[in-house]
Amino acid sequence: MKVQALNVNEYGETADGLAVSLFTLKNRNGLTTQITNYGGTVTCLQVPDREGRFANIVLGYDTLAEYEAGAAFFGALIGRFGNRIAGGRFELDGEVHQLATNTHPNHLHGGDRGFDKIVWDAKAEITANGPSLVLKYLSVDGEEAYPGNLDVIVRYTLAHNDSLIIEYRADCDRATPLNLTHHGYFNLTGDPGNDVLGHEMEIHADHFTPVNSSLIPTGEIAPVAGTPFDFRAPVTVGARINEGHEQLLFGGGYDHNFVLSKSERKEPELAARVYEPLSGRVMEVHTSEPGVQFYSGNFLQDFRPRAGLCLETQHFPDSPNQPGFPSTILRPGESFRSQTVYSFSAR
């Protein structure tokens, strides 16, 4: 049996002179991930195929400077609010808040400098479950125009059952919207020169949230039955992606929130499964969140279009402006808890 391990190396300095580290976690079966405390970014995830051959199944850059300049959120932690807020505007307890409209005309993934662009305090440790990296950050009142001080702790664990576990915790001193997620781009072939259109996708969702032309939910929770959004049985990503469905035209492909069939989840439950037939790799996604954003990498920069897919576990987009959606407002005295597990195997 291989020994679990962790290692830390210098990764460089940010443009404003902050030192950044790169942490390597390895479980007993040889799975390896590298995570930098710049943005809590997973830069590499080595997983075996059906023949036992390891390859990196996530997209990313080679250098810190590229992550600083990039706009695709490769492998990063996202906050305070993952996904979009219409017009960057919301009202909370009678006060209107205006956020950055960094994807015109809307707010996306925390603003101009979201959690993907900050240097987290980091500590690596060996646990019984596998090597872990604990990341901490205090987002101060008014940062990116969000109200209240927010304490965030995220733990990555590369478990011995061949899963990457992401645990989130947050506490605040003033009511604030909160929607934390991980923005990994997966390509289970292990070769970013391939697209993901042949990946077989299964999402445990009977409904999704349709969007308008700027990708803001209309407020409707629509059935997937009879649409290209029905992934209740396995179907390849590319099977219907070029159909002339209005929603696919709005997103340039899939970029939609799926309403998981069991939305009241205290513990992680199966949300999605992906199978790549050439390599035999399988990824299962379990989450305690009520939704998952499936993005088919339609407008990737620095890689071919659709070279990776995202399954971002989350609450729903634009929830602060959508009273019919599950609330994303965290209040003082409450403590946000969430867990997502990406599990890997081959067949």
SS3 labels along 285-312: EEECCCEEEEECCCCCCCCCCCCCEEEE
- Please give the mean pLDDT across all residues of the chain: 96
Q: What whole-number distance in Å separates Cα of residue 171 and Cα of residue 342?
A: 25
Q: Which band of pLDDT confidence, cut at 50, 70 and 90, is reported for residue 4?
A: confident
pLDDT for position 264: 64
Rg (CA), the chain: 19
Q: What whole-number distance in Å separates Cα of residue 170 and Cα of residue 276?
A: 35
pLDDT for residue 24 is more than 80: yes
CATH of the domain at 42: 2.70.98.10
Q: Looking at the 3D structure of the chain, how many domains does it have?
A: 1
In this prediction, residues 299-320 reach a mean pLDDT of 96
Q: Which band of pLDDT confidence, cut at 50, 70 and 90, is reported for residue 5?
A: confident
In this prediction, residues 141-154 reach a mean pLDDT of 98
Percent with pLDDT over 90 in the chain: 96
**What is the secondary structure of 10-31 as a DSSP string?**
EEEE-TTS-EEEEEEEE-TTS-
Measured in degrees and rounded to the nearest 5, phi and psi for residue 340 equal -130, 140
pLDDT for position 168: 98
Q: Which has the minimum average pLDDT: 2-16, 126-140, 295-309?
A: 2-16
In this prediction, residues 95-119 reach a mean pLDDT of 98
pLDDT for residue 55 is more than 60: yes
The answer to whether the CB of 19 falls within 8 A of the CB of 175 is: no
Neighbours of 33 (CB within 10 A): 24
Give the pLDDT confidence of 177-228 residue by residue, as tens digits: 999 999 999 999 999 999 999 999 999 999 999 999 999 999 999 999 999 9
Neighbours of 101 (CB within 10 A): 17
pLDDT for position 263: 57
pLDDT for position 267: 87
Q: Which band of pLDDT confidence, cut at 50, 70 and 90, is reported for residue 262?
A: low
Which residues are part of the catalytic machinery?
A: 183, 312
In terms of pTM, does the model score above 0.85? yes
pLDDT for position 76: 98
The structure tokens listed for 319 are 């929830």
The answer to whether the CB of 320 falls within 8 A of the CB of 261 is: no
The answer to whether the CB of 155 falls within 8 A of the CB of 135 is: yes
* More confidently predicted of 77 and 2: 77
Question: What does the chain come to in residues?
Answer: 347
pLDDT for residue 234 is more than 70: yes
pLDDT for position 266: 76
Beta partners for residue 146, in sequence order: none
Of the candidates 31, 52, 27, 113, the residue with the CA atom closest to the CA atom of residue 78: 113
Give the pLDDT confidence of 148-182 residue by residue, as tens digits: 999 999 999 999 999 999 999 999 999 999 999 99
Segments forming the whole domain that contains residue 85 = 5-346
Percentages (nearest 5) of helix, strand, coil residues in the chain? 5, 45, 50
Please tell me whether residue 337 adopts helix, strand or coil conformation. strand
In this prediction, residues 55-70 reach a mean pLDDT of 97
pLDDT for residue 258 is more than 70: yes
Distance between first and last Cα of the chain: 21
In this prediction, residues 37-61 reach a mean pLDDT of 98
Q: Which band of pLDDT confidence, cut at 50, 70 and 90, is reported for residue 261?
A: confident
Percent with pLDDT over 70 in the chain: 98
